[in-house]
Structure 1
Amino acid sequence: MANPVTYRPKTGEIPLDPGVYRFRDEHGRVIYVGKAKNLRSRLNSYFANPQGLLAKTRTMVFTAASVEWTVVGSELEALQLEYTWIKEFDPRFNIMFRDDKSYPYLAVTLGEKYPRVQVMRGDKRKDTRYFGPFYPAKAIRETVDTMIRVFPVRTCSSGVFKRAERTGRPCLLGYIDKCSAPCVGRISAEDHKALANDFCDFMSGEAKKFISGLEKKMAEAVAELDYESAARLRDDISALRRVFERNTVVLSEDTDADIFALREDELEAAAQVFHVRGGRIRGQRGWVVEKVEDMDTPDLVEHLLQQVYGEASSSNEQIPKEVLVPVLPSNADQVLEWLRGLRGGRVDVRVPQRGDKATLMGTVEQNAADALRLHKSRRAGDITTRSAALQELQEALDLPQPLMRIECFDISHVQGTNVVASMVVVEDGLPRKSEYRKFSITGEAARDDTASMYDVIYRRFRNYLAGKAGEQRDPAAPDPDLGTDLGAEDEGSILEHPEVGEQGEPVRDTTTAISRNRFAYPPSLVVVDGGPPQVAAASRALADLGIDDVFVIGLAKRLEEVWVQDSEFPVILPRASEGLFMLQRIRDEAHRFAITFHRQKRGKSMTASALDEVPGLGPAKRKALLKHFGSVKKIRVASVAELVEVPGVGPSLAETIRTSLAVGAEDAPAPAVNMTTGEIMED
């Protein structure tokens, strides 16, 4: 790899104008293309202190061996040139939403003597009716196969048609009545063209007219006792209804729009688009891409529109009048001007706020979320991928033994109160949920995140040593190492797990009922959520216990760096590596599990403290109030008449309860904060 210092241009050589730049590797290949309003400012940012760059950006600048730029006259020209170069050079560090195919359309060649129905891509032709776009192509072929049983328009190529004319024998479709066989004179050219026009009318939305006509003919056939014809008409009606239902109107019939949605995380992004033409969803398309460069959602939307409609630049009819997006793209004015230039007409790019379009946007977003979740589950569930990830981690961390068991720890709290920790376990790359643990942290251990991390690691491995030595304890006795809030009252409590059982019931948390002896199984690797301070605290806890055969690393969320004990610099895993993906998945699971327990504990403490402050309200009446109303929130808004319905609560006490629980600014709960990352956690 080259050192960026060796090819860094002098600051004075870089212009202040807008332009497009290219990074090349040592072989001259373009590895990244970008644009900037100010080339000097943007390029200088790549040559800052390498430790301050994001991991993916650092990898790019160290892979490159030179940089060059081209000054343009405006930001719009920069947008156009950037797309041209991305398409020409296919740089490895640019996000790629596009594939190598254009959209498929259902086309009817009305300009020919004998019109033909076919699936077409690419540029549109004169005297041809197009319907779509459809995606995937399989959907449009199924539509054609269903339609030609009712409208047996020719679908064969010119070569097949001419051969049938010469021999006087139709093709197979002619024999099975899926083609009217104009090639052998079974239908005149005029009648065949009328059949093609009926096909177009049906696809344009006049389905009910044809279905009603067939229903009338079927009734006449039944009246004449011609049940064979009636059965054939019944099947034709069923076929048309299937096509009609597939093209149900979702928006007003004059709506032509593409609706985009995104779902992303730190590593990957899933994009979905619904193509709505004439108010009907004509097709759907999706991508899952790796984020190999640092960009926010507006940047992703800009690149998505740039690459999707850049493919359509040779056929302006593929760009609809309306483009609906989750957020406006970066450089929205330039993107809008560029799209209008491609279409040769008006294009609106906007974010739907309400109504049917916003509802449909929600559906598209749900598809994107499902696509990303499915992609990740397949990636995590593949045994070959898991094995490669574990092997990659072992080699990157230079560990002497395979990573059979990994434990990850996370700390969460609310401004120093209700401090909790979680421990999740992964064996052979898969979560072992029966061995998850949760900890309550109190006293001096709760003063900061490093002290809390020391406390949790110390308690967990003290149990390991106790189990290794064969110590026994009464399973019914309270275990101080599992925290004060994990007694019998929590056993079997339903947590906010996304997992469900075979019948859809919530999985019950049974970690508090698991005996100590499972702590006797040591991990191959301990992962803590955080950087050098957390790693040092965990290492110190192990050293104080005399344990020197457990390796500790920290995953810092901001830059996704892997920090190892006694090392000045982090281990940088490739942005798209399976090893980094596995570490992130484990860290995110520990974070989720910690927040789940934290919310439980915070809710209990808030409930108890609110009712404890009411004068004259003892434990029995508190319990009766909660049983009657279900929550403190409902007690706050209850009237005196409603409060006195609770046994033991009289008018005087009811008035005291209302006064004590009056909602004010001082009653608003403090926001939940993750101790390690500093992020505010949403309820």
Structure 2
Amino acid sequence: MRSVVGPASFRPSPGSIPDSPGVYRFRDADDRVIYVGKAKNLRQRLNSYFADFAGLHPRTQTMLTTAVDVDWTVVGTEVEALQLEYSWIKQYDPRFNVKYRDDKSYPYLAVTMGEEFPRVQVMRGARRKGTRYFGPYSHAWAIRETVDLLLRVFPIRSCSAGVFRRAGQIGRPCLLGYIDKCSAPCVGKVTAAEHRELADDFCDFMAGNTGRFMKRLEREMRQAAADQEYERAARLRDDIQALLRAMEKQAVVLGEGTDCDVVALAEDPLEAAVQVFYVRGGRIRGQRGWVVDKVEEAGPGELVEQFLLQMYGDATPEALPREVLVPVLPPDAEAVTELLSEHRRARVEIRVPQRGDKKTLMETVWRNAMEALKQHKLKRASDLTTRSKALQEIADALDLDQVPLRVECYDVSHIQGTDVVASMVVFEDGLARKSEYRRFSVRSTEGDVASIYEVISRRFKRYLEERSATGELDTESAMEAGTEAGTEAGTETGRETGTEADAEGHAGAGFDPDTGRPRKFAYPPNLVVVDGGPAQAAAAQRALDELGVDDVAVCGLAKRLEEVWLPGEDLPVILPRSSEALYLLQRVRDEAHRFAITYHRSKRSKSVKESALDEVPGLGPARRQALIKHFGSVKRLREATAAQICEVPGIGPATAETIVSALKGES
């Protein structure tokens, strides 16, 4: 089903589309999935894309003109269609599908139940297996206040792994252990089983099961008073007051025993903001917000449906409430309800509140969503229309054949030629795509121009190798190009940290056959931007020419006058200072600079941190890293005894004594 660009060119033949429920995918010329949709009737839904192109929404028209192919999979029920649609959106990350993103990073109260001695702490970011989460909260200080109150009653560990290990080594607990806000499992005051029971009670209280703890403490307080143990009775009284204060911090809005999530939506023609209030036991336990670009034509019902699937798709069964209150029902409300109920393993109700306290709370959440959208619009550098205008201006100014939907920018960072690193940032449709950022350790020491040449060679050498592996490129040509670039660049390492990848990750065209994950180096950019002037732009172009890459445009952006340099041109392109094109190029360049600087600082900090061990005989890079990882810093290593140093794998008694002597002599 391959064809040339244009909706009419890949329209399926009449009668070839089934009239069953299913999920369909549109792909672009690079075989990327750019849109995933579901339908009760595939034939009816897909024919609507090709019947009246002029009557479609402008963003749908853009998607169709970008696509070159469409395929589909038939399923048995609407629930199966929902499941497959969510799975494909998560797998392919199509750029024309709605994707909700947090409007900020909300903190959670987390208890690491997967550890031998669970720890309570503030956490942000991705959820970790074996950890129970409560919240999210608006501010981290609100979590710390709550934890400080609850540790009186549930004195579980709140220290880091290093502090916990250190206390065990010296046989003395930290301050919290002395003031009875920690049961001090580090020094054996309680067993692992006793400490876990405390952690379970803490989690039960945070989950809303407060009644039994209050009754138990009141019973024990009365008994202590009857036994004339007045100090213990006073302590229990203070514990009860602490729990009451912790409970008062969460406003009672609905009847006791009510568990629900309240979802409200505020939107304009370009964007939407979603706010969620989490109500457990009738109390607001936290709130969270998302914003979304409306890159596809979708009404409130469709937005709610997509939001519910994305929000609860990866949630644990315990995270789903009994009831979800929404502003409007999704189009396939019954299917969504069935899917969420199946995920929770219990009935989930999706309702629109009509009156009473729940409707009043919905109005409050909606006002929060409106305010969030307003604040987002104020902060955002540009909207969809502005970004489209910027990309078109870039294409016109640089005389490109097409709008540069994917832009890669490269920057080099170093201090007097040492610890040379480079960054690659990716912008798609004018927005940063951080999951595809890359960082390079540069081998060249001949200046920025040589570094740019090396990095561009390495990036596109990998791209050609991957195209060759999938049969898209002649193998012999790819090997010749790869050998030439490899001589200049050497080999690379790849690892990922967080959402921004570190160095060149192993990637290929399409998807990895072993892992099924998208290969992140599979797609070439439309435009390569380098931080620099004519020399840097020429070096990048030379690297592409030597590899035989002739369908990627190159330009350099010089900082001094913000001039745009094209390879081989004697004069720069001067963009108006107020143009959207220059503003976007500046954002791309500044992001590349920030990413390169961050990597350079971390690399330099690491080398400085380990420098004190460089002169110790018998220590290679692996054992130096093992020591730093075990003790956390050279300072702590300097305070350790030879016996403690011997605990590090690979360090024997003689080496430990040498380390102690070297570090003591240095201090």
Q: Structure 2-normalised TM-score?
A: 0.49
Which structure has the greater CA radius of gyration? 1
